């Protein structure tokens, strides 16, 4: 699943995110962003959380995109931008047939690994594989009906090219899979079953 389309919502803000990457210390962790948005930890909430994405984090993005489903409006999703403890933009749109978007609700109370912790784990994996990077794109979603949320971190170099990805459980922090551009370092950790869709478009970032 590619990072969902944000051009209509953010426009030229993508460039601003890139420029802010070197000064991203102090920006919200995803838990702070979800709290500011008011995502409930209780099951059956009015707007189930479907996914979260952030771009050019070092270690955290300047803004978080939060995707929820509006129960009262069948097929309608809400995409919100959270930054510095508040929602700064949002839009509602209808899911189109075949549109590549998260569709499995994330149990908010099941999230134990914050985006900052995910960054530290991913950074350690990159260091272990001797991969250097400039910033990280984050995506949080459930990849199968088992409902376990997974962090996908895409590592970006100075040329804005992806140099690798790390998939890890947002519940336990266990690394599920790492994929590096030289292919030789492709590693699947056998202690945990890899989600069936982990190698499909469900976790590919735009441009890969």
Reported as a single tens digit per residue, the pLDDT across 75-92 is 899 999 999 888 899 999
Instruction: Please report, to the nearest 10 degrees, the dihedral formed by the alpha carbons of residues 60, 65, 71, 75 taken in order.
Output: -140
Confidence of residue 116 (pLDDT cuts 50, 70, 90): very high
Q: Compute the mean pLDDT over every residue in the chain, rounded to the nearest whole number.
A: 77
- Alpha-carbon distance values, 35 to 15, 31, 40, 62 (Å): 26, 6, 8, 16
Q: What is the mean pLDDT of residues 21-27?
A: 50
DSSP 26: T
CA proximity to 183, closest of 164, 167, 161, 168: 164
| pLDDT at position 44 | 55
CA proximity to 196, closest of 151, 154, 145: 145
Percent of the chain predicted with pLDDT > 90: 50
Residues 148, 172 contacting (CB under 8 angstroms): no
162-169/175-180 β-pairing: antiparallel
| pLDDT at position 205 | 38
Q: What is the mean pLDDT of residues 7-31?
A: 51
Q: What is the mean pLDDT of residues 32-42?
A: 71
The count of other CB atoms within 10 Å of the CB of residue 17 is: 19
Q: Which residues, 6 or more positions from 156, have their beta carbon under 8 angstroms from its beta carbon?
A: 56, 133, 134, 135, 136, 137, 162, 163
pLDDT digit string, tens, across residues 120-129: 999 999 999 9
Q: What is the mean pLDDT of residues 19-25?
A: 41
Using the predicted structure, report yes or no on whether residue 99 has a pLDDT greater than 70. yes
| pLDDT at position 202 | 31
Instruction: Return the exposure string of 76-87: e unless at least 16 CB atoms fall within 10 Å of the residue's CB, then b.
Output: ebbbbbbbeeee
Domain parsing of the chain, residue ranges: 7-200
pLDDT digit string, tens, across residues 44-70: 556 889 999 999 998 999 999 999 998
Tokens describing residue 198: 């982990």
Which residues, listed in sequence order, are joined to residue 60 by a DSSP beta bridge? Answer: none
pLDDT digit string, tens, across residues 150-207: 999 999 999 999 999 999 999 999 999 999 986 444 454 433 333 433 332 332 333 3
């Amino acid at each position: 699943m590619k990072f969902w389309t944000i051009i209509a919502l953010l426009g030229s803000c993508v460039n601003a995110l890139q420029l802010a990457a070197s000064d991203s210390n102090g920006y919200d962790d995803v838990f702070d962003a979800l709290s500011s948005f008011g995502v409930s930890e209780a099951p059956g909430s009015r707007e189930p959380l479907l996914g979260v994405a952030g771009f050019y984090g070092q270690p955290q993005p300047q803004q978080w995109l939060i995707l929820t489903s509006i129960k009262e409006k069948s097929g309608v999703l809400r995409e919100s931008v959270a930054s510095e403890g508040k929602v700064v933009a949002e839009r509602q749109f209808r899911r189109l047939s075949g549109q590549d978007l998260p569709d499995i609700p994330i149990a908010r109370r099941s999230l134990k690994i914050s985006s900052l912790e995910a960054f530290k784990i991913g950074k350690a994996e990159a260091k272990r594989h001797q991969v250097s990077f400039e910033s990280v794109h984050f995506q949080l979603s459930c990849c199968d009906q088992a409902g376990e949320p997974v962090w996908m971190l895409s590592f970006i170099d100075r040329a804005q090219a992806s140099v690798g990805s790390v998939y890890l459980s947002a519940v336990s922090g266990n690394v599920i899979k790492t994929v590096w551009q030289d292919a030789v370092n492709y590693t699947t950790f056998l202690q945990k079953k890899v989600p069936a869709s982990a190698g499909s478009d469900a976790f590919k970032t735009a441009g890969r």
